[in-house]
Amino acid sequence: MAKTITEYISLGEDYHKVKKIYSINIFYFDIGQGEDYLYHGQNHFIGVHTKDQLVVNTKERSVIVSKLSPEIFPEYILIRTNKFDKIAVTPLEEWMDYLKRGTIRPDTMTPGLGEAREKLRYYSMTPEDRYAYDEHLNAVMIQNDVLDSAKLEGYLEGLAESRAENKEKGKAKGLAEGEAEANLENAKKMKAMGIDLEMIRHITGITL
């Protein structure tokens, strides 16, 4: 616990800058006298459901509760799997059932248990199956990387083509506008010179 605290505080800083610490302890043996399977506290522990106080054995107490500065007050959560004997209904009870028996309901919606089930399946594989599964995942990731790279390249190529096309359209539009302005200017000059309007229209394509 002391090591955890030092990770969140710099040398010389005040204790009030330490982040709140929660110590979660899972026990598969009897650590003292109490009826609940879940206790919470700092230096004494109250049952979350039964509200009774857990009397921790002297031997275990020094292990569970570290001697820390009173300004820090880490909170402890004690999970007593041997005291859980219910049918799992709530998310907490489903977790307790998993911790005690290693079972997970197939229709569970409890956060984290779906991931835990996948981990159980993975580690229950034979070494050969696990290797094949890992290779499959690597192949899928490589394929996804290739597809992502191809999509990016396609996007960049399309963007470059679109810009080039717009540039060419801009050039063509500019040339057409320049040609029209030149024809108009020539038509005005021809008119000023007294050339017949029909002749001007025939030469420039502009109606005056």
pLDDT tens by residue, 89-135:
899 999 999 999 888 988 889 999 999 988 888 888 899 998 998 88
Q: What is this structure's pTM?
A: 0.47
Give tens-digit pLDDT for 139-150.
888 888 877 777
Nearest residue to 3 via CA among 27, 21, 16, 26: 21
What is the distance between the alpha carbons of residues 159 and 157, in angstroms, rounded to a whole number? 5
Give tens-digit pLDDT for 33-92.
888 999 888 777 788 888 888 877 656 555 555 544 444 567 888 899 988 988 888 999
Angle at alpha carbon of residue 53, lines to 51 and 57, rounded to 5°: 150
